[in-house]
Amino acid sequence: MKKDIKIVGVISSPNRNGNTASLVREALNGARQEGAIVTEIFLADYKLEFCKGCLMCNVKGECPITDGFEEIRKLIYEADGIILGSPTYALEYNAAMKCFLERLGTYTLYASLLGGKYGVGISTSYNRNGAKNVAKKLTGVFKFGIFERSYISGTLGIHTMVNGVEKKVCESTDDLNKANKLGRKITKDIEGDKKYHFQNIIMRLVVAVYIKPIFKKFILKNKEKKERASYNSLHQRGLI
């Protein structure tokens, strides 16, 4: 049974006290009540440049852009669970979340550095189905583990328009309870090492049979140069 569980909540909303932020914080509160060590990352507090696609993270294990991202990356890599929260913009998660996910980079993907972690997606929207769909999209980052899989503990999408009036989640006991339960659930999943054996099984089979051998060959071929960091991380963890 795992102890000293660390859970990070990433909020991409520009509104510090908005609906999405309230839900993520209540999920973190639920995790804390189950004994987890929780950290909030409010993306608007950080200077984040756009990814330049240089792929130097695969070589050095860090981004060459000198902004606030490496501080965030360290927290993400150290976490056992990650709660991603974004408002719904045009039926997608917003640009700040997209920038964050892109900055995790190919290094995170190739070295499966989200492997073994548990994820949750949270979103809000005026559109009844929009928030649910975006919450699911947020968990997509946990579905493609090449060398080590991740797990999805759940999603939460909240419709915030009622009879033409925007609902304040912070005043909704029902919505906050749902977020709290999800925070508790991800903590219990980590504590109990829940495996979700049939989750995302088709993609996992495709990765195991076709994609992993291709990436393994590529990384081994380039382990001294352009995939040095990817190889070193995988090798140190016994994954290659």
* pLDDT at residue number 1: 67
Residues whose CB falls within 8 Å of the CB of residue 88, separated by 6 or more in sequence, listed in order = 94, 123, 124, 125, 126, 127, 130, 131, 134
Distances from the Cα of 97 to the Cαs of 1, 53, 141, 175, 202, in angstroms? Answer: 32, 17, 12, 22, 27
Q: Are strands 37-42 and 6-11 parallel, antiparallel or unpaired?
A: parallel
Q: Are strands 151-159 and 118-125 parallel, antiparallel or unpaired?
A: parallel
Q: Rounded mean pLDDT of 207-217? A: 97
Q: What is the pLDDT of residues 8-19, one digit of tens each?
A: 999 999 999 999
Model confidence at 163, pLDDT cuts 50, 70, 90, reads low
Mean pLDDT of the chain: 95
* pLDDT at residue number 88: 96
164, burial (CB in 10 Å: exposed 0-12, middle 13-18, buried 19+) = exposed
Q: Rounded mean pLDDT of 104-111? A: 96
Q: Are strands 37-42 and 81-89 parallel, antiparallel or unpaired?
A: unpaired
| pTM for this entry | 0.96
* pLDDT at residue number 235: 98
Q: At 51, list the tokens.
A: 């990814």
Mind giving me the DSSP string for 36-86? Answer: -EEEEEEGGGS--PPP----HHHHHSS-SS-SSHHHHHHHHHH-SEEEEEE
Model confidence at 95, pLDDT cuts 50, 70, 90, reads very high
Contact between 20 and 86 under an 8 Å Cβ cutoff? The reply is yes
Q: At 27, list the tokens.
A: 């999920």
Q: What is the pLDDT of residues 168-177, one digit of tens each?
A: 888 889 999 9
What count of other Cβ atoms lies within 10 Å of the Cβ of residue 167? 17
Q: How far apart are CA 102 and CA 85, in angstroms?
A: 16
Q: What is the pLDDT of residues 33-52, one digit of tens each?
A: 999 999 999 999 999 999 99
> CA nearest 91: which of 139, 123, 44?
123
Contact between 156 and 122 under an 8 Å Cβ cutoff? The reply is yes
Contact between 5 and 191 under an 8 Å Cβ cutoff? The reply is yes
